[in-house]
Amino acid sequence: MGTNIASYIDHTLLKPDASREDVLRICAEAVEYGFKSVCVNPVWVKTAVQALKGSPVLCCAVVGFPLGATPTDVKVFEAQGAVDDGAAEIDMVINIASARAGDSEALVNDIAAVANAVHEGEAILKVIIETGLLEDEQKVLACQASVEAGADFVKTSTGFNGGGATVADVTLMRATVGPDLGVKASGGVRSLEDAQAMIAAGATRIGASSGIAIVKGEQGLSDY
């Protein structure tokens, strides 16, 4: 598994103080190490897409990030803009209050609107359910809503709101969505051992800013 671990990794730079030079550096690293994608805030999509041109590395952008407390039409607009700029994947944050309130209909409506826009642009949608703020029952509800709404992946965490990926959460999410949907573990995945444990639990993608440490078998320091 260690040989192709890079192909699972979304090489991530979401810090608010990230510079253009930082974005160009992670793009170069992603090409060098063969990561699946580079994950950036929407303002950096054009820069990343240009830097990645000619390589198989995708550009991923976050939407409604990191709180999820953005009106659905704004999430749709943000997602469309990122896809228009060249993002091949969108990671959106759900309305966490809806999940905590057990409001499945609100969750489905929010996710489906973004999923439709993203799929129109021939991109894929990952849905961040922010496991650290939910009880297990609410995590299941959010995963079920993601499936119903037509998402392509469910994702554990933003890495910005406390609590990261755990083997227990990945196991629960995989059991809930079944074998076909993607499951992305993100937040606190810092080592090859961490990543392998997540994959063994059912993760098909790893979100990490410690991607290089992971593929080298070293220990990363970042929370994301």
If you search the block for the tokens 């059912």, which residue do you land on? 202
Is residue 10 over pLDDT 70? yes
Which of the residues are catalytic? Answer: 91, 155, 184
Dist CA 103 CA 78 (whole Å): 24
In angstroms, the CA 158 to CA 57 distance is 21
Res. 102 pLDDT band, cuts 50 70 90:
very high
In percent, how much of the chain has pLDDT > 90?
94
Are 43 and 37 spatial neighbours (Cβ–Cβ below 8 Å)?
no
Res. 117: pLDDT tops 60: yes
Instruction: Using the predicted structure, report yes or no on whether residue 2 has a pLDDT greater than 80.
Output: no
Across 3-7, 20-24, 25-29, least confident range: 3-7
**For residue 223, what pLDDT is reported?**
64
Does residue 38 contact residue 18 with C-beta atoms inside 8 Å? no
59 closest CA partner among 76, 78, 45:
45
Q: How many residues comprise the chain?
A: 224
Identify the three-state secondary structure at position 58.
Answer: strand
* Tokens standing for residue 46: 């054009």
Confidence (pTM): 0.96
Mean pLDDT (the chain) is 96
